[in-house]
Amino acid sequence: METQVIEVDPLEDGRKVYQQAAAVLAEGELVALPTETVYGLGADAYNCDAVAQVFAAKERPSFDPLILHLANARQLDEVCTVPEELKETVEKLAQEFWPGPMTLVLPKKDVVPDIATSGLPTVAVRVSAHPVMRGVCKALGRPVAAPSANRFGHISPTSAGAVLKELGGRIPWILDAGACSEGLESTILRPMLDEKGKPAVELLREGPLVRDRIRKVVRIAKPRKPRAGEGEEAEAAPNAPGQLPSHYAPTKPLLLWDAKEEFTPEEGVAYGLISYQGDSPLSMQECWANTISLSPGSGRLAEAAVRLFAVMRQMDEDEDVQVIVAEKVAETGLGCAIMDRLRRASAARG
């Protein structure tokens, strides 16, 4: 299969391309398209065969559910049954954060096929802030199931070029609208009632929507403790997308390291450093085959988040580097999401 890369400018030719992409999706084919977070691999969410192709193209295990993208918040009623006691909470969240990088996990309606939710009674949904994703959803008239457009467990793509490297020859179309503006996958929340019966949300995945902003709208519940008998089996069967402990990983081993601590390289191994801003004691050591900074000189978490996956991919493709070392960042604001991705990357092969 030859993969076509179609450049699209939402301000110029967007509507025409959206209709063309929707026609491809309606025929049961796959289209990779941008969101503000990462590029997604889209399929008609109601077409079971098309959704199965997503799992096959990504080599994604069938137990890992997908996110359904909606054209607007009004479409939520089509795919979800929001409990009466949570309707006000869900409405507040949607009004405040959609379109945007927030995914909600809610009870699904029968119209959503089980293959898209990995058999779970809930479905993960969001309204992207990217005009291309929303435009294609609107043109299709149905939700688009779209996990990140990469092979399972690999680094998520934030550009069309990265998608082509991951899935070229496996899918027919990639819509290229440039680099993603956020760079990290969406924050995932599950609206719920806490132990006192009061509305809250469970934070299932850190992302661009940070805790402080969420708390202004709704309370974040404390993480649920595993029930008796839960363990590796429960961990292997996630209850929402993005829950696996090993994910977002380069092909090379990745080690997490404190920026203030000395690193002692193993003889005969070439190391590359992903530094936060490039001026730490760790980055000043002379043992690195290559050093790339996430936020050169400025130390801005927003810049680091946008660059993280691209820098990881660049280091992974560097032939002079055998092992990647990544500096830890402060776990505040977007730093929580950055560290979440780095931990999962290091768990894969570290």
Structure tokens at 343: 């931990």
69 assigned to a ligand binding site = yes
C-alpha to C-alpha distance for 36 and 102, rounded to whole angstroms = 11
247 assigned to a ligand binding site = no
DSSP character for 66?
P
Structure-derived torsion over alpha carbons of residues 151, 102, 243, 158, reported in degrees to the nearest 10? 30
156 assigned to a ligand binding site = yes
- Bond into 99 cis (ω within 30): yes
Query: What length is written for the chain?
Result: 350
DSSP character for 60?
-
From the list 298, 260, 259, 254, the residue with the least C-alpha distance to 272 is 254
Structure tokens at 211: 């805790």
15 assigned to a ligand binding site = no
Structure tokens at 348: 């894969």
Planar angle of CA 334, 337, 339, nearest 5 degrees = 110
205 assigned to a ligand binding site = yes
CB 64 within 8 A of CB 202: no
Exposure class string for 74-85: b at 16+ Cβ within 10 A, else e: ebbeebbebeee
Cβ atoms within 10 A of the Cβ of 239, count?
16
From the list 294, 284, 290, the residue with the least C-alpha distance to 328 is 294
298 assigned to a ligand binding site = no
347 assigned to a ligand binding site = no
264 assigned to a ligand binding site = no
146 assigned to a ligand binding site = yes
CB 125 within 8 A of CB 103: yes
Task: Report in angstroms the alpha-carbon separations of 180 from 57, 275, 283.
Answer: 22, 21, 27
Phi, psi angle pair for 58, to nearest 5°:
-85, -15
Q: Where is 81: in which H helix or E strand?
A: none
Q: Which residue ranges are tagged as binding site for L-threonine?
A: 37, 69, 122, 126, 146, 186
Q: Which residue ranges are tagged as binding site for ATP?
A: 60, 148, 156, 205, 248
Q: Which residue ranges are tagged as binding site?
A: 37, 60, 69, 122, 126, 146, 148, 156, 186, 205, 248
